[in-house]
Structures are given as structure tokens and as C-alpha cells.
Amino acid sequence: MLPNPSLERTATGLALGPLPGVVHHPSSGPSAIPASARSAQTLGNASPTMPPASSHISADTRFQEAAASLGYSFEGELKVGGNYVPLVRDGATLYISGQVPRVGSTVVVTGRVGSEISLAQAQVAAKVCAMRALALLQRELGSLDSVRQILRVTVYTQSAAEFTQQSEVADGASELLHSVLGEAGKHTRTSVGVYQLPKNASVELDLVASAKA
Amino acid sequence: MLPNPSLERTATGLALGPLPGVVHHPSSGPSAIPASARSAQTLGNASPTMPPASSHISADTRFQEAAASLGYSFEGELKVGGNYVPLVRDGATLYISGQVPRVGSTVVVTGRVGSEISLAQAQVAAKVCAMRALALLQRELGSLDSVRQILRVTVYTQSAAEFTQQSEVADGASELLHSVLGEAGKHTRTSVGVYQLPKNASVELDLVASAKA
Amino acid sequence: MLPNPSLERTATGLALGPLPGVVHHPSSGPSAIPASARSAQTLGNASPTMPPASSHISADTRFQEAAASLGYSFEGELKVGGNYVPLVRDGATLYISGQVPRVGSTVVVTGRVGSEISLAQAQVAAKVCAMRALALLQRELGSLDSVRQILRVTVYTQSAAEFTQQSEVADGASELLHSVLGEAGKHTRTSVGVYQLPKNASVELDLVASAKA
């Protein structure tokens, strides 16, 4: 991967680079996880540099780049916590179970956002949740290029009493979906602050997507 | 607009008048926002009177009447808070992002319901959220008469610890949807109390709707 | 009903017995509500024994058995709390309004899980919510054998500050759906902890399902 010559930081941390022809989203230049966020979370050996996006790069390649940037692997079993399933397909519609920022068997960002966990850390958590959802779509469809559209995303943030930046937390997930999927990553979104999440996760995300015919 | 001769108040505040032929809902007579709610929120010059509904009035006209009654305009840009989109259409299905009671750039009802915010104020907030959702549907479809059905509504209320009237808050939105859309406004609903909402909004609402072919 | 010779308890309380040919779910042996949970909640005369499941038993029969086991009737009006509807059908897709553990006019499990309410009690609450949802599907479709798939379930648990077993609460509902519907009961799920629920309910559940053609 070539280092991204236009690397810069954004308010919401990691962005995986602009996609040509995406016109409906506020622009988000290529960036990296702020070093402060990474060190605070011990996020592993995430590369601070991102490759330049290109219209010739598949969504699957962008997914791998995003995983490398986060410093996590999303291969292997994607554990779910109970007797339900991670994905159900209904015709062209794909429902994904709520994802917490679990990597392997560890929930990597836990605690209340706004007191124990910073906004930047929560944004990384939202990205990890979104990556898990993408990994599930990829396994079901064979390729992320077969995603037609992300229809709906709900982001739950375990919030301190006075924390009101739930939208900014969710921006982490929205940017990642957009960065990996381009136009197909455009989605509607609901962001709420909740009192507790399973496993003390800081963020939980679910989504509904549609597949190409 | 003629004053409504049968004007009366209901437990949940504003209702935009009965619609002929609607049989499945508990009846809600025409009413107005209680003066107490209006004054407490400085909701502007909302008329306390509502016109009689008629089967010959389009849903778009009822929408305008509801806006006038609330004292708010829902023209102009409907801002969303992040890099996502307010509406995604998937065939006949329309997904609307979570709406807070924002008018222009101001969230008009903020704070915790049950302590800082009264039930009546929260019901107005729910109505404003619902109006924003309707405005988005109207822009996408050209006319609210093209809404086939509101399928699902989720209403999140930022709640004080002991507040348990989340359903009554959501009634504000349900009544408005019913008043503007008639039978097409019948919907399933989930009401929950959450700890915090983006921008300290008192209420957030999202919905899924279907469009006529 | 014959007593189940292989009766045993599971971590999540009631399970209605294994279904032949269900391979994707973690196995859950036949079991009964722990006596501690039943006595704590005065759940009525629930039988501690469950019949052995069989591939020749219809989903409707299993539903009746689950109702008997819980000690509740789900006949009669299924009250909803406001001016909305309990179920909307959109083609083959069925949306169910958020269900609290109401039986008749009483919400049978109220209060905050993790302080006032135990995990086992909350799991029973989740089962009652799921039974209400199934009762609504049964009335709409004529038979639960006409359910093609439960697509999505969201379980909201009114949680104490330090309670993080929302997934385990939701397992109560997941097990019940699986027990009654078999493969068709496989679903995606989101579990969150919220601050308050309508009527002070301990659990609220909504779902989306599809019907057979």
C-alpha cells in the first residue's frame, strides 16, 4: 500500500479516503486515527497512513485496508452472544444483528462514553462495529461489491449523563461505511444514547442492507 | 381556515382533526396544543384552532395545517447532523433517519422529560419530529398522498429516572401521523426511554414507510 | 401432556424443548422456568414440565404449550397503549409494535433489571413479550406455521447502572421464538439497556417477520 500523500486528520478520526463520484455526503478527506485515540485504546499496530482511494479498488480491498488501518483482523469466527444468528436474508434485504466492538473474544472498547471513554475512542468503537457488519455482509454475499445499499443503521452509545455527542460517535461508523462502500454506503441513521449495553460495550450498531440482484 | 366548531383538548395535546373512515384507532377528537404547553415552550404563534378535517382535503394540505398549528415552518433545508442521508428509498420502502425536534438550526425541545421537560412539551417535540419525517417523505414522493403506509415508528424519549410515560409522549407523533395521513398513517410503534439523545434533544423519532406504486 | 423425561434447567430459564432439524442454534435442552424465578414473580400455575417436542407438532401447538408453561393466557384482546396498531403487514413483511410483558391489563414484570428484577425474572419478561408478538402473528396469519422467518428482534431492557447482561435477557425471547417456530424462529437481534420503558416495564421487544407466500 502506498502512503497517502494527502493524509490529514478529521474530527471523527479514521476515514478511509474519498471515493470518486460520491456527491451526497459532506466531504471527508483521508485521515488516520488520531494518535491519542490509538494510544489510549492500545488499538494495536494500526498504520497511521491510508492508501489513496481509487475507483478501481474493490470494496473488498477497501475493507482490508480499513481492517489494517484499525489494526484488527475480522477474519475467523464472528462470535455472537446468544442463540440467534448474525445475519438473516429476506430476498434482497439483509438484516444484521447488533454488533458490539468485539474482536475475537474481546470487546475492545468498554465503558461509558463521556466519562470513561472519549469521543475519539467511541468513534473507533463505532468503526469496529461497522467492520463486523461489513464482514458479515461480505461472507454472505461473497463480495462487498454485491452490496447495493446500506438502508438503515442504528448506533447505540453507552452514554454518561451529560454526553450529547451520540451523532458524532455514529459518524465514525458512517464514515467507514461510506469509505468502504462508496455510494452504496449511503444510509439512514438513528443515534441514541443508552444506559447500558451488553458486555459493557461502549457502542452497539445494527443495520439493514440490500443486495444487488 | 374555518375555526373548528368542535374544538376540544385531548390528553396528548394537538390533534389535527378526525378523518372520515378511520376505524382502527381510538378516537381522538379535534383539539389544540394546551395553552400551558404552548406558553411553556414559546412555540410561536400556533393557532389554538384547527380546521375540520375532510375527506376532500389532501394530506399535503393537512400537513400545512399541522405546521401552522405548531407554529413552525418545515420548508427549507432539513439539516441532518452527520455524513449520512435523511432518506433512503429501497423499492417501495422508504427509510427515514432519526429526527430530533429541530426547526432550522435549532433543536426546539431539549432536556430530560419528566424533570426538565413536561409530558405536554415532549408531545409537541414528538409532533415536530414527525413533521420533519413527513416533510422528507413529501419531498421524496412529491405529495404525501403518495404515502401508502407508515410501517414502523420508533420514538426515543430522553427520560428522567422515574418517568414512565414514554407511550404518551409517542402518542403525540402517532396522532399527528394519523391526522395528516389518515389510514395511511396507521403504524406499528416502539417507545423507549433513553438516557441521552443527540443535541440533548428530548425526543428522537425514526420511521419506515411504503410508497404507492 | 407427558412429563418431559429429560427435563433440565438452562441458564436462561424456560426452553420449550429441542426441535428436530434445527442446526444453526446453540443447543438448548428442554427445561422449565427455575422455581426461584417463578416464585419470585408469582407467575401463576406454570407447569415445571414441558412436553417433548416433535416434528409433528404444529407451531400453534407449541405456542399453546409455551403459554401453559408460562402460566399465562394470550387469548383475548392484546391491548396496546396508544393510538397506533399492533401489527402492520406490508406484502409478506409483518411489523409488530413494541411489546411489554403485559398479560390482560397488567404488566407482569416491572422495574429495573439488575437491582429490582433478577436476570431470571427478566428472561421470563422477555418470553412474555415474545409470546405476545407470536399471538399477534398467529391472529394475522391464521397459524404460526405460516411464519416464514423472524427477521429481526430488538430487545430493550430497563437496566440498572451496572447491569450488562442484556444479551442474556434477550436469550429468553430468542429461545422461545426458536422453541415455538423452529428454523423459522431464527432471527437477527439487537439487545440494548435503556433507562426507562413505558409502564415501568422491565423489558420491551419488537420484531419484523415474513410470512409464507
Span B13-36, pLDDT tens digits: 222 222 222 222 232 333 333 333
Interface mutation target, options C115, C154, C189, chain A, most CBs of A under 10 Å: C189
ipTM score assigned to the predicted complex? 0.75
The pLDDT of residue C56 is 72
**How far, CA to CA in Å, does B67 sit from each of A111, B7, B26, B172, B180?**
41, 18, 23, 14, 11
B-chain residues within 8 Å CB-CB of C86?
188
Sequence-separated (6 or more) residues with CB below 8 Å from residue B160? B112, B113, B114, B115, B116, C196
> Does A90 contact C151 at a Cβ distance shorter than 8 Å?
yes
Residue C33 pLDDT > 60, yes or no? no
Please say whether the beta carbons of B34 and B69 come within 8 A: no
The answer, yes or no, to whether residue C129 has pLDDT greater than 60, is yes
Q: Residue C106 burial by CB count (10 A; 0-12/13-18/19+): exposed, middle or buried?
A: exposed
* Position C193 pLDDT exceeds 90: yes
Measured between beta carbons, the chain B residues lying within 8 angstroms of C83 are 25-26, 28, 171, 174-175, 178
pLDDT computed for residue A169 by the predictor: 97
Task: Check residues C18 and B115 and name the one with the higher pLDDT.
Answer: B115
Nearest alpha carbon to residue A12 among A39, A35, A40, A31: A31
Lowest mean pLDDT among A183-197, B168-182, C78-92: C78-92
pLDDT tens digits for C68-124?
888 888 887 776 655 799 999 999 999 999 999 999 889 999 999 999 999 999 999
Q: Which range, A60-69, B59-68, B87-96, has the best average confidence (pLDDT)? A: B87-96
Query: What percent of chain B stands above pLDDT 90?
Result: 60
Q: What is the pTM of this model?
A: 0.77
Strands C106-107 and B106-107: unpaired
Higher pLDDT, C37 or A190: A190
Mean pLDDT across the stretch A168-194?
95
Determine contact, residues B202/B126, Cβ cutoff 8 Å. no
A7 vs A212, which has greater pLDDT?
Answer: A212
**Integer Cα distance of B3 and C160 in angstroms:** 49
Q: Is the pLDDT of residue B89 over 70?
A: yes
- Is pLDDT larger for residue C174 or for residue B83? C174
Q: Which residues of A touch B197 (CB under 8 A)?
A: 164, 166, 192-193
Predicted pLDDT of residue A37: 36
Q: At C16, is the pLDDT very low, low, confident or very high (cuts 50, 70, 90)? A: very low
Residue B46 clears pLDDT 50, i.e. is over it: no
Asked whether the beta carbons of B147 and B209 are under 8 A apart, the reply is yes
Q: Judge: C196–B159 Cβ closer than 8 Å, yes or no.
A: yes
The C-alpha cell that represents C37 in the structure block: 424465578
The whole-chain average pLDDT of chain A stands at 78
Q: Residue B45 above 50 pLDDT?
A: no
Give the Cα separation of A210 and A89 in Å (integer).
9
pLDDT tens-digit series, residues A50-107: 444 445 789 999 998 998 888 888 887 776 655 799 999 999 999 999 999 999 889 9
What single letter denotes the amino acid at residue A5?
A: P
Asked if pLDDT for residue A152 goes beyond 50, the answer is: yes
